[in-house]
Amino acid sequence: MPSNNFLSRLFNKDKDRKKESSSSTNHSSIAVPQRHVPSPNSSFSNTDIPHSVKLKPSSSSSTSTLQQIDSHSHHPHLRLARFMEKKEHHFFNNHNISSPSSSTKLHAAGNAPSSKPVVHSKPLQSKFDDYNALTQLVSKYGIIPDNTIDLMTLLNTPNDTIISVPEAKTSSTALIIGKGAGGSVYPLYDSKKNHLYAMKKLRLQLSKENWSSYESKLKNEFRIANKLHNQNLIRTYDLLQDNDLFIIVMDYAPFDFFTIVMAGVLTKHEIYCYFRQMCNGVAYMHSIGLAHRDLKLDNCVVDKNGILKIVDFGSSVIFDTKRYKQEGQNQEIEKASGIMGSDPYLAPEVVTYPYYDPSLADVWSLAIIYCCMILRRFPWRVPKDSDASYGYFVSKPGETTDENGHKKVVGPNRLLRLLPTSSKTLIEFMLKVDPKERFTMVDVLATEFFTKIKYCHYDNYNIDTSSGDLIKAENHSHHLITNRQFTDEHPDEAQKEKEREEVQAKKIIAENNAASA
């Protein structure tokens, strides 16, 4: 992993922007303006604490009894939930503004736009639902295991041990490890290397979707993912195509991060460790000119050693051509516009402005993820003034009385006071509503809180084998829980989550059918 000094050298543009800002400080030492710093010795009376539901202790490994933002009964929408489909529409559609045409796209330095557009014709024969075509396409990486296989057994098998894995002969018996609007995810097992991959079968083109744009989008997602060489970003190997059947092959990580957070077993130091890992991954992306734009709990997985991996780069955008430059390629660079991501994780400028700095939007999303890990609840449903919880957050600091006569703390401290004291200042600056005042990832990595986090990572990381010498932090161990274990231990919660996913899946199908009509 790149050192902080290495990342700092790559972030000269961010430092220059900070220096030019009228409200800038000397960020080489990350001097924080005193007027913004919440006092670590501040105390609050009982009237300051909002009515809330405490985190339930789950054995000795539970988090602290930090309070939630608002009561579950009054704000059921604040509970943690998966987002199978991300927001993906453009500001222009809702504001009567012309969307930029393809002729207004930016191009990498020195690469002029082609005078003749390349026309791609849609395949006449569909292979999307052909299971034989699927297995043949991925055969060089292994077989799709039967759904009777326990993948954890394969992961824990020594490399020199030969194990017989039955292959799924039909789509109905194939083991599926994930589903969403973007497609289905299957495991692939290479018996020669005793290695597990994950393959994502990308969604079918909609009937009203331009084939050229659809194909270009999928290939662009792969190019971006394949370029990422960092232990906290999932390793992506290949994009396979057979007519309209597209497959992305990547590393397999057995643990779903959303499930781990929902289980309520994370200790404070585990949360810090995961936070530092995901920040390292995002900082690396920013250092090469890329922003993720869909950071959320759902888009993180964890390997068997507790190393977090960020996934799903379908919304990623190139925001700095000089950092991203690719030798010998004519890479078109699109402007950062449109609402990309899931409501609770969105930065306010994403839903407000036609154009925005996607790297700063990533910083906001990381802070929301941190709050979700600590509180196990969303701070608000969507960053709009119409959302009461967000409205309280952006209000002038002080107190207000609601319609029931209850006093409520308003302003940023309404949320910040519920976080561990050592992290408050950092999260405050990551959640600055004005992007010009918000920390960049360089600023985040330079703070005292961040640098003191003891975290698990690979030393001498090898991108080709996705492994290295595991360095474990001495102040915690990771509580890794599979979806199956969570279902067995929390049957009621798992059933509710399954029902919510089914409702959301039906909604996605209905919307896609309507769009295709």
Burial of 403 (0-12, 13-18, 19+ CB in 10 A): exposed
Q: Please count the helices (runs of H) and the strands (runs of E) in the chain.
A: 17, 18
Question: Which one is predicted more confidently, 233 or 42?
Answer: 233
Give the pLDDT of residue 503: 61
Q: How far apart are CA 383 and CA 439, in angstroms?
A: 18
Q: Verify that 238 and 276 share a domain, yes or no.
A: no
Give the pLDDT of residue 490: 65
Cβ within 8 Å of residue 243, ≥6 positions away: 123, 125, 126, 127, 128, 133
Q: How far apart are CA 350 and CA 368, in angstroms?
A: 14
pLDDT over 90 at 194, yes or no:
no
CATH classification of the domain holding 276: 1.10.510.10
pLDDT over 70 at 145, yes or no:
yes
Question: Which one is predicted more confidently, 427 or 95?
Answer: 427
pLDDT over 70 at 176, yes or no:
yes
Single out the residue in 211, 236, 253 at which a domain terminates.
Answer: 253
Given the residues 70, 244, 251, 294, select the one marked as catalytic: 294
- Give the tokens for residue 447: 């703070």
Closest-CA residue to 255 (of 486, 503, 11, 12): 486
Angle at alpha carbon of residue 280, lines to 202 and 14, rounded to 5°: 100
Percent of the chain with pLDDT over 70: 68
Tell me, what DSSP letter sits at residue 187?
Answer: E
Q: Verify that 242 and 291 share a domain, yes or no.
A: no
Q: Examine residue 77 and state whether it is found in any structural domain, yes or no.
A: yes
Give the pLDDT of residue 326: 57
User: Is 407 within 8 Å of 400 (Cβ atoms)?
Assistant: yes
Q: Verify that 316 and 418 share a domain, yes or no.
A: yes
Q: Verify that 353 and 386 share a domain, yes or no.
A: yes
Q: What is the pLDDT of residues 414-461, one digit of tens each?
A: 999 999 999 999 999 999 999 999 999 999 999 999 999 999 999 999
Among 96-100, 205-209, 240-244, 343-347, name the one with the lowest average pLDDT.
Answer: 96-100
C-alpha distances (whole Å) from 385 to each of 14, 337, 388, 391, 412 are 29, 21, 7, 5, 14
Give the pLDDT of residue 313: 92
In 366-495, which ranges are E strands?
Answer: 398-401, 407-410, 457-462, 467-471
Q: Summarize the confidence of residues 246-261 as an average pLDDT.
A: 95
For residue 47, name the pLDDT band (cuts at 50, 70, 90): very low
Q: Verify that 71 and 159 share a domain, yes or no.
A: no
Q: Summarize the confidence of residues 380-392 as an average pLDDT.
A: 92
pLDDT over 90 at 235, yes or no:
yes
Among 93-97, 159-163, 169-173, 427-431, name the one with the lowest average pLDDT.
Answer: 93-97
Specify the amino acid at residue 172.
Answer: S
Specify the amino acid at residue 383.
Answer: P
Give the pLDDT of residue 41: 33
* Dihedral, 308, 311, 315, 320 alpha carbons, nearest 10: 60
In 69-122, which ranges are E strands?
Answer: 87-89, 106-107
- Told to judge if 146 belongs to the known catalytic residues of this protein, a careful annotator would answer no
pLDDT over 80 at 25, yes or no:
no
Give the pLDDT of residue 19: 47
Q: Examine residue 130 and state whether it is found in any structural domain, yes or no.
A: yes
Q: Verify that 230 and 303 share a domain, yes or no.
A: no
Q: Examine residue 24 and state whether it is found in any structural domain, yes or no.
A: yes
Q: Verify that 441 and 505 share a domain, yes or no.
A: no
- Which helix (H) or strand (E) element contains residue 288? none
* Dihedral, 505, 508, 509, 511 alpha carbons, nearest 10: 160
pLDDT over 90 at 500, yes or no:
no
Q: How far apart are CA 260 and CA 372, in angstroms?
A: 12
Q: Verify that 246 and 266 share a domain, yes or no.
A: no
Burial of 347 (0-12, 13-18, 19+ CB in 10 A): buried
Helix, strand, or coil (residue 433)? coil
Q: Is the dihedral of CA 263, 266, 270, 272 positive or negative?
A: positive
The H-assigned helical ranges of 91-197 are 91-95, 131-138, 151-155
Q: How far apart are CA 221 and CA 359, in angstroms?
A: 17
Cβ count near 506 (within 10 Å): 10
Give the pLDDT of residue 336: 62
Q: Summarize the confidence of residues 215-231 as an average pLDDT.
A: 92
Q: Is 424 annotated as a binding residue?
A: no
User: Is 361 within 8 Å of 282 (Cβ atoms)?
Assistant: no
Helix, strand, or coil (residue 129)? coil
- In the chain, the number of structural domains is 3
User: Is 273 within 8 Å of 473 (Cβ atoms)?
Assistant: yes
pLDDT over 90 at 288, yes or no:
yes
Q: Examine residue 363 and state whether it is found in any structural domain, yes or no.
A: yes
For the chain, the average pLDDT equals 76
For residue 158, name the pLDDT band (cuts at 50, 70, 90): confident
For residue 178, name the pLDDT band (cuts at 50, 70, 90): confident
Q: How far apart are CA 371 and CA 286, in angstroms?
A: 22
Give the pLDDT of residue 247: 96
What is the extent of the structural domain holding 515?
A: 486-517
For residue 400, name the pLDDT band (cuts at 50, 70, 90): confident
pLDDT over 90 at 48, yes or no:
no
Greatest mean pLDDT among 147-156, 160-169, 339-348, 411-420 lies in 411-420
Q: Examine residue 501 and state whether it is found in any structural domain, yes or no.
A: yes
Q: Verify that 218 and 263 share a domain, yes or no.
A: no
Q: How many CA atoms lie within 13 A of 35 on its CB side?
A: 3
pLDDT over 50 at 222, yes or no:
yes
